[in-house]
Chain A
Amino acid sequence: GAVVSQHPSRVICKSGTSVKIECRSLDFQATTMFWYRQFPKQSLMLMATSNEGSKATYEQGVEKDKFLINHASLTLSTLTVTSAHPEDSSFYICSAWAGTGLSYEQYFGPGTRLTVT
């Protein structure tokens, strides 16, 4: 099946610094990638939709200047958390959609645990 990887799996950073998280589709080209955030014991919340070669579309309430998304190729999207604060600590998960036919299945990465100290 389709595989999506994320790097790093865990990251600890100091408040005020920036952190980049990579999402890669390993065996398919992803027309669209999505970024989700999952708080402890809660559900996934969609943050933004990223289409290759165009600007990301952010969900209401998500600061686009804080969560920078770049989808530079059909296999890579990056999420940069700028000037991180402890409240940004969370589990960030990406998913990728191959964009073929009517198969709307999204393939999820393993997630990145961000801890801001």
Chain B
Amino acid sequence: AQSVSQHNHHVILSEAASLELGCNYSYGGTVNLFWYVQYPGQHLQLLLKYFSGDPLVKGIKGFEAEFIKSKFSFNLRKPSVQWSDTAEYFCAVMYSGGGADGLTFGKGTHLIIQP
């Protein structure tokens, strides 16, 4: 079965630290990749997405992610985190040959930034 793995379920960092959240998926075919953020009490918000082209994608709020096809990975990074980055982060994959399909989500990473 198709699956998405997020390696870190809870991450605690201090402000200004660098962040990398791991994400691996199981499918070897065509994929579209996403990172979503869910702030406390709010709905899912798209941070960034990869469909094709440059494997290094930049998103909102200073986040970026790199698609490494050979490793089936799409890790999320931010050079310097802020207290306001405290949230739940979800990696998601859409397995498809065209059109929109439902997303397969990882279990999420709860990120806490300490001031």
> In the complex, what residue of chain B is closest to A59 when comparing beta carbons?
B102
B107 contacts which chain A residues (CB < 8 A)?
42-43
- Whether the Cβ atoms of B43 and A104 lie closer than 8 Å is no
Query: Which of A42, A45, A97, A111 is close to B43, meaning CB atoms less than 8 Å apart?
Result: A111
A45 contacts which chain B residues (CB < 8 A)?
105
A75 contacts which chain B residues (CB < 8 A)?
none
Q: Write the nearest CB–CB distance from A91 to chain B, whole angstroms.
A: 11
Query: Which of B42, B45, B106 is close to A43, meaning CB atoms less than 8 Å apart?
Result: B106
Bound CA–CA A87/B103 (angstroms): 23
Q: Write the nearest CB–CB distance from B32 to chain A, whole angstroms.
A: 5
Residue total for B at the interface (Cβ-Cβ under 8 A): 22
Bound CA–CA A108/B90 (angstroms): 13
Known: A43-B107, A44-B90, A104-B94. A49 touches B102 (CB 8 A): yes
Query: Which of A44, A99, A110 is close to B42, meaning CB atoms less than 8 Å apart?
Result: A110
Tell me whether B75 is interfacial, beta carbon within 8 Å.
no
Q: Name the residue among B44, B45, B46, B101 with the largest chain A CB count within 10 angstroms.
A: B44
Query: Which of B36, B43, B103 is close to A109, meaning CB atoms less than 8 Å apart?
Result: B43
Other than the given A43-B106, A46-B103, A105-B49, 4 more pairs (CB < 8 A) read: A42-B107, A49-B101, A109-B43, A110-B42
